[in-house]
Every structure is written in C-alpha cells, then in structure tokens.
Structure 1
Amino acid sequence: MAKQSTLDKSIKEFISPKHWLSWLGMGAAFLISFLPWSALQAVGKIFGRLLYSLSPRRRHICNVNFKICFPEMTKAEREQLTKEHFESMGQGTLETFASWFQDKNRFASRIVFEGQEVIDQVLAKGRGCILISGHFSSLDICGSQVPRILDVHPIYKLQKNPVVNWVMERQRKAIFSKTIERRNMREVLKSLKKNKAVWYAVDQDYGRRDSVFAPFYGRECATIAHIGRIAKMTNAPVVLYDYGRTENGYHLTFTEVPNFPTPDDIENATTINRLMEESINPKKPQYFWAHRRFKTQKEKGTPSPY
C-alpha cells in the first residue's frame, strides 16, 4: 500500500477487518503508555530483548554497521553493543507510545534543557532556524518536549501502516503547531519565513538523487544535501539538536553550527556527518544502528555491504 497522509481521512476508512490487528496493537500501545517511567524503561528493555531474538536481519545490519564504523571492535563487543542497541530501541518504542497518548508534561520534571540562549539568539535574527539531529531511540519523547521552549515544525516520514499513520499524524499534530511531510519544501520555506524552526533528522540514506557523498566514520555515504542549500537560500541559522536518555530522564542540547553553510555541498555534508558522530559517540547504544546507512554506494554497481 502506498504511503499517504491520513490527516484528511476519517477513521471510518480504517475500521475494516484487515486493520483490526493494527488497532489491537494501538490499543496495547495506549495501555502501555500509562506505565510509570521506571516501569516503562524496564519493560522497554525486555521488549528490546524480544526484538533482538526475533530480528536476525536487523542484527545483521547492526553488525555490518559496527564493522564499518568501529573496525577496532571485537566480535564479542559488536554483539554486546547490538544487544544494548535493541534494549534501547525497545525503551524508545514504549517512550513513543507515552509521547503519543500521554500529556507531554507528564515527564517534564525529567527533562534537562541546555542552550535556551542559543534558541533566543538565532530567532532574534528573524530568519527562523533549521534544527538538525540524528535518529536516537528517544526521538519521539524528547521531540515532544521541544515545543516547551521552541515552536518547531518537524519534518516527518510516513509509515507503511495506514493505521499507525492515522494515530501518529494526529498525536503529533496535537503536540506541534505544524508538521511537514518530508517532500513538502514549500511548507518548509513558509515556516522559516515566519521565523519558526524546522527540524530535520539528517542521518539517513535517502538515495543517490537527493544526496552527495561525504565521510561518516571514515566511509563515504549518501548524505542529504538540501540542508546547506536551504540555509543558503533562506540565510536561516542551523542549530544542532542533540538529545538522549540519561539514568533519570533526558538531556536536550541546542548548539548553533558555526560557519555553516559553505558554498560546497560536500563540505556541508561532511560537517553534518561529523556532528552526527560527535552526538553518537557518548551514547552509542541509543543510535539507530539498524538502519542501512551505507546502502547507496558511491560507485554505481558496487554491491551493498548488507
């Protein structure tokens, strides 16, 4: 089924028997979202271990990524990091349910913001700002807290399951004043013109057409080029949004990226990948290693490492 926005669709379009299993899953997600934070973390780890045992393909992708990015790691170290990664993703899945179905202020006391003055300074320029981040397991729950200090318009990708889209799009619309489907450049420019922030996760492989090749942990990989291009077009400041799970909650940090963009797309992409590495290294298990980051090869015809 093609991925389509559900914002203009009624729930009546998704109540046929073929969707019942998806709705059962959403009902379970709703109930899980009521767990207290400590239980959410503990059950999330257990769920992650289950995913680890049931996902040989994802384990393989992690292993390949670790071989590329951390060639000094032993096999045992790669296996241990893979297990920790799945536990973290299990926690992140349950945190996503909490961000969708619970009041965003429920975990406010567990959030530490750093860089409010950065946000104030860049928005004082009146050109909006472009937030860039990576994909970490706490993406949804941390993202739900950003509107407390910044009117941010996240760029999102539709999911394959229309029921999940129906729930996700409505829950995110309740959190953010505006969300933007990733192909809708017109809305991105509108938001920046209104001095709003747009938020891109910049660390995934979207194919050759929309990318340039730049090093990521020493390996050339397809990196989106339009962050630098949008910044040049609009003169909007670019801000690194780094976030992650701590022992007692979450830490969100905002840092303006200096001397960005340059006239060179590859140089800009290299800067972005370096910033992603700096965000990943202190919290490796939380990064989305199960993504095929190196699937598009620089030389056409070169086999995928996966």
Structure 2
Amino acid sequence: MRRMPGTPRPTFTRSLLAPSLWPAWIGVGIMKLIAMLPFGVLMGMGRMLGAIIERFPSPRRKVAATNIALCFPELDSKAQAALVDAHLRDIGMMLIEFALGWMGSERAIEKIPVMFEGLEHLEAAHAQGRGVLLVGGHFSHLELCARLVSQRIRIAGMYRRMDNPAFEWTVLRARLGYARAMFDKDDIRGTVKYLRSGGTLWYAPDQDMRSKDNAFVPFFGVKAATITATHHFARMSNAVVIPFFHRRLPGSQGYVLRLGAPLEGLPSADAEADTERVNRCIEEMVREAPEQYLWVHKRFKTRPEGYPPIY
C-alpha cells in the first residue's frame, strides 16, 4: 500500500498513560464534551469565557497592547485599549473553536453556517495541474476554519509539534481525520513533493519562528522577522500562491472563508520582496477583522541588530 505523505497517524502507546499526563487527558475529555454542544450554545459559551478572560490579569494583555499600539498608531489610546479588550474577549471564542475544530463530529461541523468565496481561483490552478499554497494568518478560528474548508477542498497543513504528548497524540489524530496530510514544520522535502504532485497546502508564515531563513520586512510598518518559506515553497514546487482569509460573523451567523486571486509573479527573483508582499497581504486580512487576529503572540520578539527589544 502506498504511504500517505507527511506525518503518519500516531499510535497509542503505554507511555501516554503516565500519571503526569492525566491532567492533559482530563482537558481532552472536557474539550470532547464541549464539542458535543449545539453551535449556538458554543458561541454563547465563548462570549462568556471571553468576558472572563478580558477581566483576568495576564502578561499577554501587555503583549497584545504593545502589538496593537505598534500596528495601529493611527488609533488614539482609547481606541487601542478597546481593540485590546475586544481581542481578549475573542480568545474565549478561540478556545471554544479549538474544541469544536478538533473534537466536533462531522454532523456538528456540517451544521455550522459557512460561506465560501473565490473557489474558482483554486479550480483554475488545479486545471493547470499545479499545486496550491494557501497563505493565511493566525486568526483565532484558524483550526476550526481549516476543518470547515476541508469540507470543500482536500487540504494539507504544516504544524509545530506540541510539547505535551497527550495533546500531540490527540490533536494530530484529529487533524489527520479531516486533512489530507500534515507536515512537520521541518519537513521541507515532503512538503515540496506534495505541492509538486498538485496538492493544496494551508500555510501561515506570520509568526516569529526565530529561523535562519528569516528576513526583516515590514509588518504594519514595523520590521518583523518573517520566514521566507512562502517564496521558497513556490520556487521549488511551481505552486500557485493564493491568499486564504477567514473571519467569524457576529452572533451565531458562522464564518466567511475567502480565497483571493493568485499572487501573480510570486515567486520573483527576490525572496525578501516576496516575503514583504505576503506580509502586506496578511495585513489586509487583519484590517478586516483586527480583533480576531492573534495579538497575544510576540510577533516582534526577534529584532534586527542594534534595535532595542519591544517586549
């Protein structure tokens, strides 16, 4: 039998029953129970949890406030503080969406309202026999929307292994339940081979990975260490690069998933210019739903030589 690309489905071993992992398994069980609730109830729970998180003291509030002040200098202090509060409330939604994305039944996922836009761009690329690199950002509903888009598109994804073995086993099995394949972030060869074969890969290059392949390019006007992998994947695989944006609608209205027009001319001969272009594309996505972006991540932790630390 031909082996599927990417990371194989994990097997359950006795080591996963170690007492030190019992708290993690309890957490997995709680997520499973949460995911069994109706979608409207889950959205209400997310809003209540977000209201608690907004009021709970956390170092991540300062991180979010710093990022938002840097990225939205046009806002006055009151508007910046309001965006920080809105984002922290959104974290509550994110936690619920993690549970639903990983643990929700197929029936539950099918009931979630979702609107797809721009699928014709993907179909045109596949008609040419080319792979597709869906480039997006780290929004709070990333995991759930990856599952939602898999209802219409056979996708693969890249991921970073979790430190906790119980969560790693659970989440990888969940992702492989709906994704065509999952590639470790260091599996460059396998990823390129998959794209060359005409596969579709979801990829988010908008976090500070502290990689040797970083370039310092602007993100909201601030020099940000940004991995240049989008350029290299496209160059080595001849894949079409298509922006992929998703946002949550108010209340229980569901989600909008949009595929934009391909980024023509990418890759160019200039990896840094291509990386800056991808950052601009993600900026446009963020401005559509700024409170839903992951501002609690230390996006500007790695600084150019001679620049003072931000956090």
TM over 0.5: yes
Tell me if the contact between 1:104 and 1:145 (Cα under 8 Å) persists in the aligned partners: no
1:231 correspondence with 2:226: no
1:84-129 CA-partner distances (Å, limit 9, x unpaired): 1122121121111112122244243501111111111011121211
Q: Give me the identity figure in percent.
A: 30
Find the counterpart in structure 1 of residue 276 from structure 2. 270
Match of 2:263 among 247, 257, 260: 257
Q: Distance in 2 between matches of 1:159 and 1:136?
A: 19
1:215 deviates by: 0.7
Aligned 8 A contact 2:130 2:239 in 1: yes
Give, as a single letter, the amino acid of the residue that structure 2 aligns with 1:97. Answer: A
Contact 1:208-1:296 within 8 A present in 2 as well:
no
**1:82 corresponding residue in structure 2:** 84
1:13 aligns with 2:15: yes
Quick check: 2:10–2:173 contact (8 Å CA) kept in 1?
no
Residues 196-240 of structure 1, C-alpha deviations (whole Å, 9 max, x = no match): 111111110111512111111111111111211221122111011
Contact 2:136 2:205 in 1 (8 A): yes
Deviations 1:107-165 (A, max 9, x none): 43501111111111011121211111001111111100222222111011112222111
Change (3 A) 1:105 1:113: farther
Q: Is the 8 A contact 2:249 2:255 kept in 1?
A: yes
Match of 1:72 among 71, 74, 81: 74
Q: 2:92 & 2:163 partners in 1: Cα distance?
A: 20
8 Å Cα contact 2:196-2:239 kept in structure 1: no
CA distance in structure 2 between the partners assigned to 1:33 and 1:199 by the alignment: 24
**Residue in structure 2 matching 1:305, options 301, 304, 310:** 310
**What secondary structure, in the 3-state scheme, does the structure 1 residue paired with 2:258 have?**
strand
Q: Structure 1 residue 275: deviation in Å?
A: 0.4
SS at match of 2:309: coil
- C-alpha root-mean-square deviation of aligned residues, in Å? 1.7
Matched, 1:118 2:124: no
| Gap regions ≥5 residues in structure 1 | none
Note the alpha carbon deviations across 1:239-272, whole angstroms, 9 max, x for none: 1111111120000011222221211111101111
Offset at 1:6? 9.3
TM-score by length of 2: 0.92
Report the equivalent of 1:175: 178
Calculate the TM-score normalised by the size of structure 1: 0.93
Measured in 2, the distance between the counterparts of 1:239 and 1:53 equals 38
Equivalent-residue separation in structure 1 for 2:34 and 2:70 (angstroms): 36
In structure 2, how many angstroms separate the alpha carbons of the residues matched to 1:273 and 1:141?
23
Q: Give distance in 1, aligned partners of 2:185 and 2:239.
A: 18
Once the two structures are superposed, residues 10-54 of structure 1 have per-residue CA deviations (whole angstroms, 9 ceiling, x without a partner) of 242121211111111111111111121121111112222333344
Match of 1:207 in 2: 210
Aligned counterparts, 1:8-87, within 5 A: 8-87=10-89
Q: Secondary structure at the match of 2:168?
A: helix
Q: Which moved more, 1:185-194 or 1:245-254?
A: 185-194
Query: Contact 1:6–1:162 at 8 Å: present in 2 too?
Result: no
Which of 278, 297, 300 pairs up with 1:294? 300
